[in-house]
Structure 1
Amino acid sequence: MSEWIKLKAKDGHELSAYVARPIGEAVGVLILVQEIFGVNAHIRSVADGYAKDGFLVVAPAIFDRFEPGVDLTYQPEDMKRAYNFYGMLKPEPTLMDVAAAYEWAKKAGKKIGVIGYCYGGLTSWLVATRGKDYGMQPSCCVGYYAGGVGSVAKEDPSCPVMLHFGANDSHIGKDQVDAVRSAHPEVKIFIYEGAGHAFNRDADPSSYHAASAKLARERSLEFLKTHLA
């Protein structure tokens, strides 16, 4: 079962969030942070998938600060719009929006984790390292292809973290991955041979790498259940 709800951030900004509910009692709560394409069909399907695995999932629409209801495809014109929105993003308001989802998630009385993809992957890392400043203390965080993570690699996460990267990712250099590995050998980092950026994005054949997506999801699910169930 899914629905859209309204959240309010600490600065008074109101935003939408997509909620996917499990059948029966939730094993834990997941905050799912979007790519730069909005809470689109792909992100909603990811949320629905984790709900089928027993999680209550909430995906805040962080682009609502710029335009409500952004729902982009991976076609060239929408790609241009996505990168325009990306240029407007800043960590502080994004973390406030995630914190609004976190406050809502607390009502379930379960452990809370964060999972994010692309820009959401970087945000997931920042929730792990800066979340306390925004009233968040997740039990674990998972980041897929977190672009820019190298620049904040020395920040200390306050919870267990798992990161996934494609070996052929043209957006994220090996130096970024190595920076995290060097600063935090305890962080679980997985590299997927043959996979590029956005390898989990099954709605985009040009990016999707089925074998890597399957393995990364299996690892993520085990990690989430270990720390949230």
Structure 2
Amino acid sequence: MKPPRGTDIALDAPHGSFGCYLSRPEGEASAGIVLLQEIFGTNLHIRELADQWADAGFVVIVPDLFWRSAPGLQLGYDGADLDRARTMLAAFDLEAAIDDTLACADYLRAHGTRRVFTVGYCLGGKLSVAAATRPGLDGAVGYYGVGIEKLGIAGNVKCPMMLHFGADDPATPAEALAALGRQLPAGAALFRYQGAGHGFNNWRRPSHDAPTAQLAFARSLAFLGGIG
């Protein structure tokens, strides 16, 4: 993989100033993406993901969702880092993170981006759904967000949505996805991939499933490209 090529910026929002990673395409951007992190902070993989979406023609901004308590946090996936990530998740303020997400969407629009989407992974997958219940987004994609069905808000989504889950992910069993599917508004797409587990899109982890990741990315790309 290439080293991350984006830049770190400070975004001044009404509720505070926080760090973001910004990645731009080589040519003109077709649209903007607010990319939402896993529980491990804005680490190397999240930055690589931002660059992947930028290579597909989007201007991508990644908010540091842990800035209120641990700004700039970047964690690995094992040992003490995993314990720290779980601690951060337990204290996570979803409503505050929605404010951060929409502030990033406002930033992209203020800098000339007409269409703005969210794409989130793990924690960010849940946040992608939560943010889409408020006005201000043109579309939303979520990967393996855990516990979305327990929020009771999925039916309030205000934009087109696509969700991806691994069928072998114990954190999102079939009954949870069935409950989520019943909540989602008509037209929302939910895919469940046989043989894939949690984190199937993360090529920095053993859970990576390349064929599933490629299929989900292609579907997401086509989905966002079809939103006028």
Aligned position for 2:105? 102
1:175 CA displacement: 2.1
Cα distance in 1 for partners of 2:99, 2:87 equals 21
Question: How do residues 177-216 of structure 1 correspond to structure 2 at under 5 angstroms?
Answer: 177-184=177-184, 185-205=186-206, 207-216=207-216
1:22 CA displacement: 0.4
Of 92, 96, 112, the match for 2:116: 112
| TM-score (ref. length: structure 1) | 0.92
Aligned position for 2:93? 90
Cα distance in 1 for partners of 2:14, 2:167 equals 38
Runs of 4+ in 1 over 3 A off after TM superposition: none
Aligned position for 1:57? 60
Cα distance in 1 for partners of 2:170, 2:109 equals 37
Question: How do residues 105-144 of structure 1 correspond to structure 2 at under 5 angstroms?
Answer: 105-107=108-110, 108-129=112-133, 131-132=134-135, 137-144=136-143
Cα distance in 1 for partners of 2:219, 2:40 equals 25
| TM-score (ref. length: structure 2) | 0.93
1:209 CA displacement: 1.1
Question: Aligned Cα RMSD in Å?
Answer: 1.3
Count residues with an aligned counterpart: 221
Aligned position for 1:38? 41
Aligned position for 1:5? 9
**What residue ranges of structure 1 are gaps of 5+ in the alignment?**
none
**What residue ranges of structure 2 are gaps of 5+ in the alignment?**
none
Which SS does the other structure have where 1:155 is aligned?
helix
Bigger share in helix: 1
1:109 CA displacement: 3.2
Aligned position for 2:149? 150
1:119 CA displacement: 0.7
Percentage of identical aligned residues: 36
Which SS does the other structure have where 1:62 is aligned?
coil
Cα distance in 2 for partners of 1:148, 1:10 equals 29
Cα distance in 1 for partners of 2:217, 2:96 equals 28
Which SS does the other structure have where 1:65 is aligned?
coil
**Would you say the 8 A contact 1:17–1:59 is kept in 2?**
yes
Cα distance in 2 for partners of 1:61, 1:183 equals 29
Greater relative contact order (Cα < 8 A, sep 6+): 1
